[in-house]
């Protein structure tokens, strides 16, 4: 099981493969991440590592988190994530640097990010409802329609698709193929699209 990596979405572009076919790719600035803490089965009940990504000014860090970083002898990090490493517990120690080269070309990865926020949206945009007829006198165009029953159960059921906030939630895109790895620049190219706008924080993990 490969440990994960944090990165930022740079944007999308396209490249040509060996057979001169156009391949749409997302460019990710992946890492470097530093191991902040190591948890073991004996002390915490499971094996994992906590990694930090991007430096953060000390004036923006509260005292408990500042103490957490100082006990490890490290500068504050903006983002912390924990990754389970059942079979790799011996390979990582506090202070180790994890770069984009943990992934290989052709490997499948899952990318986790926050989707673009669309604001408050109706059922047609949010859920793909077809709406009513556009003819004159219809009086029913983009409304949600019936949302419950009269006598039984006399309430709106949980999970009913209604207008509301669209986007701005965590989403995972699975089985994206790694097209290129530039370890020196910390650049990762994966085939297809990943969640979020340019600059969004991403978590890249190896697919199961």
Query: Could you tell me if residue 135 is inside a domain?
Result: no
pLDDT digits (tens, 9 = 90+) for 159-175: 999 999 999 999 999 99
Q: Residues 199, 165: one domain? A: yes
Provide the pLDDT for residue 89: 62
Q: Residues 90, 172: one domain? A: no
Q: Residues 63, 105: one domain? A: no
Closest CA to 203 of 179, 171, 181, 177: 171
Mean pLDDT across the stretch 182-205?
A: 92
Residue ending a domain, among 79, 98, 117, is 98
Residue 14 to residue 25: CA distance in whole angstroms: 6
Give the pTM.
Answer: 0.82
pLDDT digits (tens, 9 = 90+) for 191-200: 999 999 999 9
Mean pLDDT across the stretch 125-142?
A: 92
Q: Residues 80, 171: one domain? A: no
Residue ending a domain, among 80, 98, 116, is 98
Q: Which two tokens stand for residue 90?
A: 């011996």
Q: Residues 108, 38: one domain? A: no
Percentage of the chain beyond pLDDT 70 is: 98
Provide the pLDDT for residue 154: 87
Range of the domain at 71: 33-98
Query: Is 60 exceeded by the pLDDT of residue 1?
Result: no
Query: Could you tell me if residue 142 is inside a domain?
Result: no
Question: Which comes out higher in pLDDT, residue 44 or 157?
Answer: 157
Which residues lie closer than 8 Å to 22 by C-beta, 6 or more apart? 14, 15, 16
Q: Residues 73, 107: one domain? A: no
Q: Residues 69, 82: one domain? A: yes
Q: Residues 193, 106: one domain? A: yes
Provide the pLDDT for residue 87: 67
Provide the pLDDT for residue 88: 63
Percentage of the chain beyond pLDDT 90 is: 54
Provide the pLDDT for residue 111: 95
Contact 190, 179 (CB under 8 A): yes
Which CATH number does the domain housing residue 173 bear?
2.40.30.10
Q: Residues 111, 197: one domain? A: yes
Query: Could you tell me if residue 84 is inside a domain?
Result: yes
Lowest mean pLDDT among 45-59, 87-101, 132-146: 87-101
pLDDT digits (tens, 9 = 90+) for 58-76: 899 899 999 988 888 888 9
Q: Residues 21, 88: one domain? A: no
Mean pLDDT across the stretch 116-139?
A: 93
Mean per-residue pLDDT over the chain, rounded: 90
Q: Residues 83, 111: one domain? A: no
Residue ending a domain, among 45, 79, 98, is 98
pLDDT band at residue 90 using 50, 70 and 90 as cut-offs: confident
Mean pLDDT across the stretch 81-93?
A: 78
Query: Could you tell me if residue 167 is inside a domain?
Result: yes
Query: Could you tell me if residue 139 is inside a domain?
Result: no
Residue 149 to residue 156: CA distance in whole angstroms: 8
Strand partners, 13: 25
Which CATH number does the domain housing residue 80 bear?
3.30.160.810
Number of compact structural domains in the chain:
2
Query: Could you tell me if residue 46 is inside a domain?
Result: yes
Q: Residues 122, 62: one domain? A: no
């Amino acid at each position: 099981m490969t440990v994960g990596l944090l990165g930022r979405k740079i944007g999308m572009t396209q490249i040509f493969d060996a057979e001169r076919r156009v391949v749409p790719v997302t460019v990710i600035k992946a890492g470097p991440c530093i191991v902040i803490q190591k948890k073991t089965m004996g002390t915490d009940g499971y094996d994992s590592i906590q990694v930090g990504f991007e430096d953060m000014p000390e004036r923006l860090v509260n005292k408990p988190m500042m103490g957490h970083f100082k006990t490890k002898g490290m500068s504050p990090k903006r983002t912390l994530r924990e990754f389970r490493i059942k079979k790799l517990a011996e390979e990582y120690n506090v202070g180790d640097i994890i770069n984009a080269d943990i992934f290989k070309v052709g490997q499948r990865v899952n990318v986790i990010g926050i989707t673009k926020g669309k604001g408050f949206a109706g059922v047609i945009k949010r859920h793909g409802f077809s709406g009513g007829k556009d003819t004159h006198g219809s009086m029913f165009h983009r409304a949600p329609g019936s949302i419950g029953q009269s006598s039984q159960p006399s309430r709106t059921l949980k999970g009913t698709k209604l207008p509301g906030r669209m986007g701005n939630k965590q989403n995972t895109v699975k089985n994206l193929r790694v097209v290129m790895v530039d370890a020196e620049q910390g650049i990762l190219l994966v085939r297809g699209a990943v969640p979020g706008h340019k600059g969004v924080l991403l978590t890249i993990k190896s697919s199961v």
